[in-house]
Structure 1
Amino acid sequence: MKKNIKNAGVALALIGAVLVSACSNQGSGTGTDGKAGEPAEVKPKKPITLTIFTNGVTAAEFDDRFRGMLQEKFPHVTIEYIQAAKGSTIVDLVAQNKIPDIIRTDIPTLYNGYLDYKIGYDLSELIKKNKYDLNRFNKVFMDEIVTVGRTGAIYGLPVPPYFPQVLYYNKDLFDKFGVPYPKDGMTWDEVYELAKKLSRTEGSTVYRGFSANTTAMLRDNPFSHPILDPNADQLSDMEKWKTLFTNFKRFYEIPNNAIEKTAAAENTAFSKGKVAMMVNQHSVYLTIPPEVNWDIVSYPLQTGAPKLMPQRGSAYWSITNTSQHKDEAFEIITAMLSDEMQMSDSRKGLPTTLTKKEVMDELGKGHPVYSKKNMNAINLYPPVTFTPKRKADLIDIPGITQQDWMAETFVKVAGSGADMNTALRELDERLKAELAKLKSQK
């Protein structure tokens, strides 16, 4: 018994010695200067330079949105920003072997501005390595870039803004003619009735009830209906295009509401102050003169179409496979897409690519103009799914060409009285001839 007590005493003494030793060592780390009680010096990260290339976003906008945050969060990274211009296009940079680390890509130019140069990089490995949550983003935008890339690779992460369609209206004209303002959730039939009441003349002045950015209205339609058939060399489902044309052209048959002679002129008619309503994208790049007292409501609902909002998708932050700093580049783009940055963007009026309601609800609230508008109209309906893409083995026509030809066809029908069936058949023939020409050049 005494022996057991003695052994227990020895064990307790040893435990006590260990505890004393442990306590005396806590906080006594030796720094690089060898002084006890100071933490080891954290070595600064090696300075690097990352190049970011965009086709359209000005340096001033980039600095306003991102540079301050990047300098504070990544002091070891020098950001060299290049906006596409004469002598500094992606073609020039590739030819000069000055390929950027990060590129702001988009769907229409994903190939001819990125993948065709064999500089595409699949972010999947970095996403997995960093356990990055893709569910933050609206699925529509993620699905589109994966689909367009055709290989299942994730070639970019969606950056605000995207471009939802809304119905603009001139409050002064509604007040002038004693007509109640449009409301969220209206149908095209209801908007048509308003347009009839507001299309009139006073003396020599013509007041139009309705106009539209016809290019966007047709291209980003509520059916997500493509121009070229995804699976065949022809106009996609002519009957669906007839449905769209029939709905839109009736507005231009209202007396005193003739369409402009070109799509470009029609797109800007609302800004002159004599048009009561306009269908167009919400875009921070759209300029409406301050003398036009406008507001917005949700895009009108069309019979047979899903209860969703037509939209033009976002751009994407992409990394090049030649970058020597892919990990740092991924840190940079995810920082630019953080909740905090998207909240900042949203407050400036840029619709978020996130699903986070708190961010959506702040849309435009920090902007001198948008803070006074009905920005809730933009988030009333979820964005419609992206337009189906051409099969990988089929020749394609550049999207800008397709949309211009479709807009020209509509103006011909709505403005010149051309037969709709004939005009659409002619467009079909034009598309087929262009595809044949492109095939002969392969």
Structure 2
Amino acid sequence: MKVLKWSLPAVLSLSLLVTGCAGGNDSAFSMDEEEAGTLKVMAHDESWFFQQYGNLFNTKFPNVEIEVLSMRSLYGEGVTDYEKAFADFIEKEQPDVLMLSMDQYVKFAEENKLTELDAMLEEEDFKSADLLPSAVERMKEKGGGKLYGLSPFFYSQALFYNKDLFDKYGVPLPDKSLSWQEVFELAKRFPTGGDQKDRVYGFSYGYGNLTNMGMMIGSTEGLRYIDPAATKISINTDGWKRVYETTLAAVKSGAIYSPEMVSSGAGDGSYSDYMERDKFLSGKAAMTMNGSYYMDELSRAGDFNKDYKPFAWGLLTEPIDPANPGTGTTLDLSEIYAVNAMAANPKAAWQLVKYINGDQAAKLLSRTQSGSLLTRTQYNKNKVKGDVNLEPFYALKPRESNDYNTNIPGDFYTPFFDNAEKELKAVQSGSQSLDEALQAIEAKGQQELDKARKAQEAEKAKKAAESGSDGAESSGGGAESVREAETTESASAESAAEPAS
């Protein structure tokens, strides 16, 4: 628990920054500035929270005693089931303000554990019209049509391009969103010859191998390699064949660079070596796809390498699906703040969530927070030097990525992707056809999925039995608990086996 004490001049100065974070609206959650009380808040840790939000919130409400409930224990040794540990943490501590991931937000909203925030959007001093509309729509969509939380930040990706290289090689700058096929065709217009260390590439891909590149393209186009219930692998299809034909042809053209696809040695771990492996950062690639944090890397590269030569760059939206050109799959909202439906101090909780997502907080965070973008997008201009239009990061309406599936067992991914890469490299070397590779990836993938699901179900049964045993020792109700767990698992299995709508 932490109670802040400030000198009068400091309080007066800082309070000017947060004027309007409350008041001016008659609602059930209006709060007088002199009201006292305790407010329990979830956060990464205490110092982080007060630095980000708590100090300034307390200048507006000096008599609110903020108790920060650190989430660090959830990431400690011995925590094998994070979601259970998270739920237990909430149950034990009963915070007034919750900090949630999107999955947690959806779950808590479905379980009626959150307070509706729709009325906050109507409060004049909140200036909700300045919030990124697609972010608010996303939160409502995930909340079943109602707003239960807000995030001050969002993350997304964009297509970065090197203006200087486009000018040097006489390639016209793109002025609209591109499909992946168009990105690769554009990349081929740059020279492919020369020494690997010094040559120019049309596109630099930093996320891995052939399999990952194909999965990225397939996600953009709305393809699934596994059904929603995570029971069936389906990658031996015309759609996936087209995607991997595109991927293999792009790599074969010599216009694409990836550290995992192009042998570049082990490296010495220096920043110069890091830059050499990032061809866009080093000015040797015309395009790359990356997140908003990458702007900070571009602006600070010279601080770490005195020989760095800056270049002019710009942005386009992430590559689009030609069939759905107005949508993208990379926009993500995390660090979602919500009011506990059982909050002991709902008015103070409402006012804190309002401040965290408010205009003044965004203005201050725009000068200190790097990486993520603000949902109050007018302040993002402070995050980049020069005349760079940041709208491509949020111009597309967010659409769920089909490769995101919470039903997939964690033990499935590594063997599946390792085998897929082995099969695709065999295609690349000419030792088998793409048809043969996709057949093998699907068959082996199904085996690995069945194996992982069986292991997952066995682990669930073990935990249910242990839970039942503990209950029997304390209350004699263990057998009943086990039966209830088995019934729940059976119902879940039946539900998962139903075809997707």
TM range (shorter): 0.5 to 0.7
Query: Which residue number corresponds to residue 304 of structure 1?
Result: 323
The alignment status of 1:383 with 2:397, answered yes or no, reads: yes
Query: Partners of 1:439 and 1:411 in 2: how far apart?
Result: 28
Cα displacement string for residues 69-122 of structure 1 (whole angstroms, at most 9, x for unaligned residues): 4123222224444664357768388299445432321125558xx859x99722
Query: Partners of 1:274 and 1:410 in 2: how far apart?
Result: 30
The alignment status of 1:396 with 2:386, answered yes or no, reads: no
Query: Which residue number corresponds to residue 53 of structure 1?
Result: 43
The alignment status of 1:325 with 2:345, answered yes or no, reads: yes
Query: Which residue number corresponds to residue 184 of structure 1?
Result: 176
The 5 Å alignment of 1:221-370 reads 221-225=219-223, 228-231=226-229, 233-235=231-233, 238-255=237-254, 257-261=256-260, 270-283=280-293, 287-288=297-298, 289-290=301-302, 291=308, 293=311, 294-315=313-334, 316-320=336-340, 323-342=343-362, 350-353=372-375, 359-360=376-377, 362=378, 364-367=380-383, 369-370=384-385
User: Relative to 1, partners in 2 of residues 1:169 and 1:328: Cα closer, same or farther, differing over 3 Å?
Assistant: same
Mapped contact 1:229–1:390 kept (Cα < 8 A): no
The alignment status of 1:66 with 2:53, answered yes or no, reads: yes
User: Relative to 1, partners in 2 of residues 1:161 and 1:225: Cα closer, same or farther, differing over 3 Å?
Assistant: farther
Mapped contact 1:219–1:403 kept (Cα < 8 A): no
User: Relative to 1, partners in 2 of residues 1:255 and 1:212: Cα closer, same or farther, differing over 3 Å?
Assistant: closer
User: Relative to 1, partners in 2 of residues 1:129 and 1:160: Cα closer, same or farther, differing over 3 Å?
Assistant: closer
Q: CA deviation at 1:308?
A: 2.2
Instruction: Count the aligned residue pairs.
Output: 379
Mapped contact 1:162–1:352 kept (Cα < 8 A): yes
Query: Which residue number corresponds to residue 202 of structure 2?
Result: 209
Q: CA deviation at 1:159?
A: 0.8
- Give the alignment partner of residue 101 of structure 1, picking from 96, 102, 115: 96
Query: Partners of 1:226 and 1:180 in 2: how far apart?
Result: 34
SS of 2:315's partner is: strand
Query: Which residue number corresponds to residue 163 of structure 1?
Result: 155
User: Relative to 1, partners in 2 of residues 1:189 and 1:390: Cα closer, same or farther, differing over 3 Å?
Assistant: closer
Query: Partners of 1:154 and 1:408 in 2: how far apart?
Result: 41
- Give the alignment partner of residue 373 of structure 1, picking from 388, 391, 403: 388
Mapped contact 2:118–2:146 kept (Cα < 8 A): no
Deviates more, 1:80-89 or 1:97-106: 80-89
User: Relative to 1, partners in 2 of residues 1:364 and 1:225: Cα closer, same or farther, differing over 3 Å?
Assistant: same
User: One-letter code of the match for 1:312?
Assistant: L
Query: Partners of 2:451 and 2:417 in 1: how far apart?
Result: 18
User: One-letter code of the match for 1:397?
Assistant: I
User: Relative to 1, partners in 2 of residues 1:85 and 1:50: Cα closer, same or farther, differing over 3 Å?
Assistant: closer
TM-score when normalising by structure 2: 0.59
Query: Partners of 1:228 and 1:185 in 2: how far apart?
Result: 28
Mapped contact 1:227–1:406 kept (Cα < 8 A): no
Mapped contact 1:100–1:323 kept (Cα < 8 A): yes
Cα displacement string for residues 100-151 of structure 1 (whole angstroms, at most 9, x for unaligned residues): 432321125558xx859x9972223x656996699866675556556667xx
User: One-letter code of the match for 1:197?
Assistant: R
Query: Partners of 1:157 and 1:75 in 2: how far apart?
Result: 25
User: Relative to 1, partners in 2 of residues 1:131 and 1:43: Cα closer, same or farther, differing over 3 Å?
Assistant: closer
The alignment status of 1:421 with 2:421, answered yes or no, reads: no
User: Relative to 1, partners in 2 of residues 1:199 and 1:86: Cα closer, same or farther, differing over 3 Å?
Assistant: farther
Coordinate RMSD, CA, aligned: 4.7
TM-score when normalising by structure 1: 0.66
Mapped contact 1:168–1:278 kept (Cα < 8 A): yes
Q: CA deviation at 1:341?
A: 3.7
Query: Partners of 1:253 and 1:122 in 2: how far apart?
Result: 52
Percent identity, aligned pairs only, is 18
The alignment status of 1:439 with 2:457, answered yes or no, reads: yes
Q: Which runs of 5+ in 2 are unaligned?
A: 1-31, 77-81, 263-273, 303-307, 429-433, 461-501
Q: Which runs of 5+ in 1 are unaligned?
A: 1-41, 354-358
Larger radius of gyration: 1
